[in-house]
Each structure stands twice: as C-alpha cells, then as structure tokens.
Structure 1
Amino acid sequence: MRKSIQRLGIVILFLSAFLTIGYLTPRKWGNYSQADCTISLYISNQGIHTEIIVPVKNESFDWNQYLRLTEIGRDATSDYQYLSFGWGDRAFMLETPTSGSINPVTAFKALFLPTPSTVQVQGYRVWPQNKETKCVKLSGSNYLNIVNFIKNSFQLDAGGNKLKISYGYHNSDSFYEANGSYSILRTCNDWTAEALQKADVNTPLWSTLSSAVMFHLNSGCECI
C-alpha cells in the first residue's frame, strides 16, 4: 500500500513538473514582430475561459457580412462595435451562466469525455469595461487568418447556414453549433491559443489554463 502511494506521488510530481514547464514555456523565443501592425485584437480572460474580441468592421473584414448583427441578440440591433467569440463544451456553456453555477457532472463530462462544442458570440455597443482584456497588434493578413479560423469553427448545414442553438444569457449573445469536440485535451483556451498561433502570436506550450494564454500573449507589436 505504501509503495503504491509513493508511486502515485511520483507520478503526480512528474505530471505537475511537466505541466508547469509547459505553462511557462513559450512557443516562440527571442525578438520577433509582425510585418506590419495595423489591427488591434483583444483577448479577454473570464477566469477559467478566454474569448477573442474583434472590431465589427475594419479595413480587413466586416463581420456583418458573415454574421448578421441583428440576429445575434434578443435586442436585434446592428449597433454593435465589437464582437467576442468563445468556444467550449456545449452543455457546460449553455448551463453555466456564472462560475458559481457549475454542475459537477457536466464539468466532469466536459473534461474527461469528448463532448459536442459551441461557439458563443456576444455583441458590444461600447468597449466592455468589466472584462480583463489584453491587446495584441496584428498585420492585416494575420488578422484574416484569425477571422478564417473563427469562421471555420462554426458548424454549417447543407446549405452553408450557421446553426443557432439559442440566445445566450444576455440580450446581446447567442450560442451556435461548432466544429470539433471539447475535452481536457482541447479546451476553450486551447482553441484561443490555436487561433492566435494562426496569427503568429506567442502562446504557451500548454495552453489549457486561461492565465497561461494571457501570460504569453505577445505579437511583437506594442498596443498603444
């Protein structure tokens, strides 16, 4: 019994060391920068969950051409200036409006079983002051790489239409069917990190935790 406990302790110790190294190790080393820094993109940290916040329209892309603004929220407005995109376990996101309402069974399934996913889209008329955000500057081409990554995250029907599940917890958000399965091997923060990698933005080797994504977030261009 004592040997079994010792072996378990060794396994936990090595796993903890491995994950800590992954948390602290960036994918990119040294000095680097975008070819041209023209577009600001923001990552928000919800505590355990990260989201990507983009302007509705800039010189590179107009989101209203892909996702009708009036259909995002119950308020049916086209006045949104920013959109946030978050990907995650469908059951968990639809059933958990706050961290205080987490269902342990749903959380267990989300972590240890491959489960269906969803994309949550939320619109903002003004900049969301209540969110912890961090800015990165991107070139136009790298911004489009993130745009295409987000677009490809939506599940489409045979006619190419996005599949809306329901409105969200506010008057300005909705949930959509998404591509890919959620699990501990690919979490909401891994999705954010994958998007950032498409845009040549630095991310950690182990991106499961939101704090790791925020810690390494760097495009080589300074946001003013």
Structure 2
Amino acid sequence: MKYLKLFFKVFLSIFILPLIYFLIAIILTWIPVNSDFDTSKGENQIYLSTNGVHADIIIPIEYFDSDFINQLDADPSVKYLSFGWGDQNFYLNTPTWADLTFNNAVKALFIDSPTLIHLTKYSGISQHWVRTHVNQTQLEKLKSQILNSFEFKNDKLQVLEGAGYHSNDNFYKATGSYNLFNTCNSWTNKVLKNSGLRACVWTPFDFGIINKYE
C-alpha cells in the first residue's frame, strides 16, 4: 500500500500536473484581451518576432530618448531594437535548443531565478516580423514597461560584457524572477496587454501572441 501511494504521487507529479498546466495555458492563451485594438491604426509602428518559441517586441530606436540610446553603444546604422526577457541561466547556457539540458530546463521552470533582458540591434526590417500600429499613449506604455524591466545601478544599465550571441546583441540585468508562471512569453504578453494592445489573458507560448497580429 505504501508503494502504491508513492506510485500515484509520482504519476501525479510527472503526468497529471503538467497536463493540467498545459490545458490551463491553452485556455488562457485562447481567451483574448483588448480585442477592440485596431492593428491598422496609430501613428507609430512596432513589430513582433519569434524564433519559433520565444516572442520579442521590436521598436524603432528613434522612439527612445538619447539617454537610453547612448548607453547601448549603437552605431548610426541601427534602426530597430528588439527586446526579450528571460531566465539568466537559460539565456547564457542555452544559446541554441541543441544546448538545452534537463537541469537547465527544470531550474528555469521550477526555481525563481534571476533574469536578463536580451536586446538585439537591427539595421533593417525582417520579412518575418509582424507589424502593428500603436498610438502615442500605447507606445509610451510599451516603452515604460520595457525600461522598467531593466535593472539600473546609478541610473546605468547593467550590461553583461561579452555575453551576447552575436555582434549585434547584448544581455542586461533585469528585474523580476522567471518561473513556469512568469516566462519569457508571459512577459511579452503582459507588456502588450498592459499597453492596451491585443494579447492573451496569460500565455507561456509565442503563438498565442503572434497569431493575434497576423
């Protein structure tokens, strides 16, 4: 009887709880918020992108003030800034899905962990980006939430030198903790939702975000 109870506990942990999480995530992803937002109206353009798993918000660099831009070490060719938020260990030790380990995945999902902003600089628009229009109020809310996600020290961004994947990206210390209820995509979704743009009630998936703008 003792071992039978243990078996059911293990079964519940391994199969039932993840299934419940997935079903709830699908339902909350399917339920839209700010559905009255018109993607064709607004004097400013922003973009969304995904690598198939992780959704980022892309904003023209000209929309930011010089105090922020000057800290990015961006050359004049940079026209767009892409922002993503996520688990520090996962970002730094899993540059590709081939580098994913069970240990890193478990730590990211089940242990509140430090986070980073992944900022990538682009000189042009990618054909894979999804464009939408926002008004000035929505844009200011977007920028405010993104900037508040950075960790500042003496009003300076905390960059991790040499930690970027390529020459056009950097990692910066961020606020908040990552876990299975507060993921990279739920951060992106929250920023959009709180800015009055189309979003989900909550989602850990990129497709729930991107599909609302395609």
Q: TM-score range by the shorter chain?
A: 0.7 to 0.9
Whether 2:166 is the aligned partner of 1:164: answer no
Encode CA deviations 1:161-203: one digit per residue, 9 max, x unaligned.
1111123111111100000011111011111011101221121
- Relative distance call for 1:199 and 1:105 in structure 2 (3 A) is same
Match of 1:27 in 2: 33
Match of 2:201 in 1: 205
- Aligned residue type for 1:55: P
Match of 2:55 in 1: 50
Coordinate RMSD, CA, aligned: 2.7
- Relative distance call for 1:16 and 1:175 in structure 2 (3 A) is closer
Question: 5 Å matches for 1:141-160?
Answer: 141-157=137-153, 159-160=154-155
Secondary structure of the residue that 1:170 maps to in structure 2? coil
Residue 139 of structure 1, CA deviation = 0.3
Residue 49 of structure 1, CA deviation = 0.8
Residue 69 of structure 1, CA deviation = 6.6
Q: Is the 8 A contact 1:53 1:82 kept in 2?
A: yes
Aligned residue pairs, count: 206
- Relative distance call for 1:154 and 1:138 in structure 2 (3 A) is same
Encode CA deviations 1:12-38: one digit per residue, 9 max, x unaligned.
665554333212111245x4548x611
Secondary structure of the residue that 1:54 maps to in structure 2? strand
Match of 2:104 in 1: 106
Secondary structure of the residue that 2:181 maps to in structure 1? coil
- Aligned residue type for 1:160: D
Range with bigger deviation, 147-156 or 90-99:
90-99
Secondary structure of the residue that 1:85 maps to in structure 2? strand
Question: 5 Å matches for 1:11-90?
Answer: 15-29=21-35, 31-33=36-38, 37-57=42-62, 61-68=63-70, 71=73, 77-90=75-88
Q: Is the 8 A contact 2:190 2:202 kept in 1?
A: no
- Relative distance call for 1:15 and 1:89 in structure 2 (3 A) is closer
Alpha-carbon separation, structure 2, partners of 1:111 and 1:100: 18
One of 135, 140, 152 as aligned partner of 2:136: 140
Gaps of 5+ in 1: 219-224
Alpha-carbon separation, structure 2, partners of 1:80 and 1:69: 14
Match of 1:222 in 2: none
Sequence identity percentage: 26
- Relative distance call for 1:63 and 1:90 in structure 2 (3 A) is farther
